[in-house]
Amino acid sequence: MKILVSDSLSARGVDILRQAGFAVDVKTDLTKDELIQVIPEYDGLIVRSATKVTAEVIQAAAKLKIIGRAGTGLDNVDSEAATRRGIVVMNTPGGNTITTAEHTIAMLVAMSRKIPQATASLKAGKWEKKRFMGVELYNKTLGLIGLGQIGTYVTKLAQGLAMHVIGYDPYLAPERARQLGIELVELAELFRRADFISVHTPLTPETKALINANTIAQMKEGVMIVNCARGGIVHEGDLYEALRRKKVAAAAFDVFEEEPVKPDHPLLTLENFICTPHIGASTEEAQENVAIGIAEQFVDYFTRGIARGAVNIPSVPSELLSQLQPYLGLAERMGLFQAQLLDGGLERVSVEYAGEVANLSVAPLTVAVLKGLFAPILEDVVNYVNAPVIAKERGIEVKEIKTSDAGDFTSLIRLRVETGTQSHHLAGTLYHRKDPRIVESNEYAVEVVPEGFMLLIYNVDRPGVIGSVGRVLGDQQINIARMQCSRAQRGGRALLIIGLDELPPVHVVEQIKCQPDILSVRLVDLSKGL
């Protein structure tokens, strides 16, 4: 096997690959054209964040079987294009958790004590003790938005500094929060009470500009904000104004919406703003850990056929994968669909396999369900390796059931999730043993193609509802791809599911909610490749 390492990698990782008998070439700083020229001769590619593995690169990779990212994020790898070509994509989940959490605390301390500003002043030959009056962390309230692996570790470190931690994470079970010593609160309460706020969520349509002028207005006068998660979660223009007016006393960023940051970025002009160039994961220990991790994963895959850390296939022997592959897509889409309907902390997940599918090794399918459930709601990159770990860490009970009775179907997967106050049920199957369909949503029989953008509308079963929704979408030039209605009884509560060709703007969804006889509206996004 021939492996290309195209970004800087710890020598320990390269040694592991060579000791396993692989031919390893380390060629860093390749241009896109140079990478396209050399990639056809390699079976494996290891990158960090610099190399961009685009669809064009993947198309040129005639022999490539595996792409490995020595780190967590995969923003620089076109995983969907790789999946279409049958190339395994893997990363090293958890390798950067501790170092990123430590960097968050470092930013918190540096910001509160004005350490970068004081250092610059002293190096300029000044002695300005009175100018750099700071604030203590002791006994202050830290508000964490997102309580995944990194948020949880930040909690431990902050508690060691005698801070009181409150957190917002609608998918963390209350019992798990109690075990961690975190007071779970709603987002509005977190904004109102926190002295310091740190974000630890993924960047999604729901979290983009989560901290903006409106939410900043809800915060304490003199709040301090840290972002070591993803650029774009904090609206940078709104933060600039809040920092300038001193509504926000200080802010510390390791990430920006556009990177590298332009030298004339307005935030860089403010003395009460400190920043680092996306180095949250840049420690010697972390880089060696991820290098060793990805090298060992490559050895496992090429010698044993086990894909540890894979984001696009489960860790199962390749001979079993062909049987499971169609069901994996169905299971993950069911989890992703269900995740976008939840309100409140997830406590229990039950997956029942009925009919022919019950005769397969279903453990990877349960993991696929969990991967789909967690992917849209966690800061952590969720894959087939860490999804069960996340469920355990969050105190979520996972149950697996097999039965021979699939009713009118050859095979059926039933997914039931429970929060503290609600229970949601989905059932899915494969048409022609390859095309995924959702056939039940709670008490409603449906036939949903789980792809693209959908509106799930609960309404009173009266004439005119479909027409009013159609008019709103038509006025906005949003095309309806497919639509169906289901009801439990005439004149009662009904479910209208509309598939759309594009993501509707927020104001369109709000307009639909205001139509007569509409009870609730949910937007479900299944547009991203799995």
CA distance 448 to 496: 11
Is 69 labeled as catalytic in the residue annotation? no
E-state strands within 43-147: 44-47, 66-69, 88-90, 141-145
Indicate which residue of 34, 258, 259, 397 is catalytic: 259
Indicate which residue of 230, 308, 333, 394 is catalytic: 230
Is 308 labeled as catalytic in the residue annotation? no
What is the chain's percent helix, strand, coil content, to nearest 5? 35, 25, 40
Are the C-beta atoms of 274 and 111 separated by less than 8 Å? yes
Polymer length in residues for the chain: 530
Burial state string for 344-357 with b = 16 or more CB within 10 A and e = fewer than 16: ebbbebbbbbbbbb
Is 80 labeled as catalytic in the residue annotation? no
CA distance 379 to 346: 16
CA distance 383 to 387: 6
Burial state string for 385-395 with b = 16 or more CB within 10 A and e = fewer than 16: bbbbebbebbb
Query: Nearest 5 degrees, angle CA 80-CA 81-CA 83?
Result: 65
Our measurement of the distance from residue 440's CA atom to the centroid of its chain's CA atoms, rounded to an integer in Å, reads 26
Indicate which residue of 278, 425, 437, 493 is catalytic: 278
Identity of the residue numbered 104: T
Strand partners, 495: 458, 486
CA distance 346 to 52: 36
Q: Could you tell me the two tokens for 165?
A: 């931690």
Among 24, 73, 25, 13, residue whose Cα is nearest residue 48? 73
CA distance 216 to 246: 11
User: What residues are labeled active site?
Assistant: 230, 259, 278
